[in-house]
Chain A
Amino acid sequence: MLVVVSTALAVGIGVPLGVALTRRPRLARPVLGFANVVQTIPSLALFGFLIPIPFIGGIGARTAIAALIVYALLPILRNTHAGIASVDPAVIESATGLGMTKRQRLWLVELPLALPVVLAGVRIATVVSIGLATIAAAIGAGGLGVLIYRGVAIVDHRLILAGAVPAALLALAADAGLGFAERRLR
């Protein structure tokens, strides 16, 4: 499904980028600010904007995935940055003082300690993406949104609900599942 692919890709981009921002504090503000601005673009408009762009654009699922990545990126990026920045400085100092390389410190100490916060970001991103994915039907990406649009077009409430209820349940299930994983890690 659209959301799985886009969220996975957003994690793939957002987590390394969030880590990079903790290493370059001066870049953190502008980059997070830019991600915030992007977040405010209405989703339908963003889908529309992407259509004429070569390679990622066009009609269909690929465009929708690109747009969903953009939206999922901010919470993941922000939480990765915040999660790593919130690790106790005494822990960082002792990790360094014991002779960990930067890479060891990241993988053995910083990422594991930031993981619950990162996962909270993934959870927000997933839930937001499920909602947005229904709108992606407008640019021919398919999915449950198709049922909703069709229902709106022919004023058939049952058809709207047939799309909306599963989408809502999906969002709730994803939220509960990731919330459970997050608590397990704390």
Chain B
Amino acid sequence: MIEFRDVRKSFGEARPVLDGLSFSVAEGETLALVGPSGCGKTTALKLVNRLLDHDSGEVRVFGRDVRGEDPIALRRRLGYVIQEAGLFPHWSVKENVEAVPRLLGWKQAERHARSEELLALVALPAAEYGERRPRQLSGGQRQRVGVARALAADPPVLLMDEPFGALDPIARRSMQKEFLDWKRRLRKAVLLVTHDLREAFRLGDRVAILDRGKARQTGTPREILAAPADDFVREFVSDELPGAPP
């Protein structure tokens, strides 16, 4: 569903942010991009929905080069969840969830049916939460609305940038559990960015460990733990997961 081939991107500084990044995400699979800050993971994510454009290499979504796609139409087919949720504070929960269907011109009845269904999925029943404003929700609830909003037009691909990064550890843990549950039910291709290796291992079917704009190792958590590709990966894993086998 998503494929990066030798992608390079620089913002004009000496060192490029992405320096030959390659990976792919299959249908129904979750790939977690993880790495220290500045490794280029968020930049990589934004290349997919063309919030940024790459300098060279190839970014393909749905089998087609993103550079040939209309960015607006492309984004409406890609769910997007960011750290602080970025909900529209002047709209109700329901209106937030219905944002993309509205942009796509769905009929009101269809939009309402869809938002009710999704709010039920994220355990915020529309009858109770639909009319609330984002500021009347907790951080975890806002993040769930963010997920529901991203899923509204039923995109086959979901892009998530530190989706649970702003939550306290307890809310974070329960959101991670819910994520695994949604994932099983919805079978979306998910590209997830996180700085937290523990989260990457928990949520990702496969994990790509990034450093300085390159994937140092891509594999299942088991593969990475069993056979770290190089010293950077070995050190990163042992720093982030004390007690894991060396």
A-to-B contact residues, CB < 8 Å: 88, 90-91, 93-101, 104, 108-109, 112-113
- B84, closest chain A residue (CB): A90
Residue contact A96 to B103, C-beta cutoff 8 Å = no
A109 to B90, CA, bound (A): 8
Return chain B residues, CB-CB under 8 Å to A112. 90
- B149, closest chain A residue (CB): A98
Residue contact B75 to A96, C-beta cutoff 8 Å = yes
A50 to B90, CA, bound (A): 43
- B150, closest chain A residue (CB): A98
Residue contact A99 to B75, C-beta cutoff 8 Å = yes
Q: From residue A116, how far is it (CB to closest CB) to chain B in Å?
A: 10
User: Within residues 44 to 95 of chain B, which ones have a CB less than 8 A from any CB in chain A?
Assistant: 49, 51, 72-76, 80, 82-90
Residue contact A98 to B103, C-beta cutoff 8 Å = yes
A113 to B99, CA, bound (A): 16
- The number of chain B residues touching the other chain, given as a range, is 20 to 34
Residue contact A91 to B103, C-beta cutoff 8 Å = no
Instruction: For B75, give its contact among A90, A98, A109, A113 (CB under 8 Å).
Output: A98
B-to-A contact residues, CB < 8 Å: 49, 51, 72-76, 80, 82-90, 99-100, 103, 146, 149-150, 159
21 A-B pairs (CB sep. < 8 Å): A88-B89, A90-B82, A91-B86, A91-B87, A94-B80, A94-B85, A94-B86, A94-B87, A96-B51, A97-B51, A97-B82, A97-B86, A98-B75, A98-B149, A98-B150, A99-B76, A100-B103, A104-B103, A109-B88, A112-B90, A113-B89
Taking A95-B88, A97-B82, A104-B103 as known contacts, 7 extra A-B pairs with beta carbons closer than 8 A to each other, sorted by chain A number, are A93-B82, A94-B82, A94-B86, A94-B87, A96-B75, A98-B149, A113-B89
A-B contact count (CB 8 A): 57
Report whether over half of chain B's contact residues are helix, strand or loop; otherwise say mixed: mixed
Report whether over half of chain A's contact residues are helix, strand or loop; otherwise say mixed: helix
Q: From residue A157, how far is it (CB to closest CB) to chain B in Å?
A: 50
Residue contact A93 to B75, C-beta cutoff 8 Å = no
A55 to B95, CA, bound (A): 49
- B166, closest chain A residue (CB): A90
* 3 pairs of A and B residues whose beta carbons are closest in the complex: A94-B86, A99-B75, A99-B76
Q: From residue A88, how far is it (CB to closest CB) to chain B in Å?
A: 7
A23 to B85, CA, bound (A): 24
Residue contact A93 to B51, C-beta cutoff 8 Å = yes
Q: From residue B115, how far is it (CB to closest CB) to chain A in Å?
A: 14
Q: From residue A131, how far is it (CB to closest CB) to chain B in Å?
A: 33
Return chain B residues, CB-CB under 8 Å to A100. 72, 103
Return chain B residues, CB-CB under 8 Å to A97. 49, 51, 75, 80, 82, 86, 159
Q: From residue B75, how far is it (CB to closest CB) to chain A in Å?
A: 4
Return chain A residues, CB-CB under 8 Å to B73. 99
Return chain B residues, CB-CB under 8 Å to A90. 82-86
A140 to B84, CA, bound (A): 57
Residue contact A91 to B89, C-beta cutoff 8 Å = yes
Q: From residue B45, how far is it (CB to closest CB) to chain A in Å?
A: 10
A97 to B47, CA, bound (A): 11
A109 to B149, CA, bound (A): 15
Return chain A residues, CB-CB under 8 Å to B99. 98
Return chain B residues, CB-CB under 8 Å to A94. 80, 82, 85-88, 146
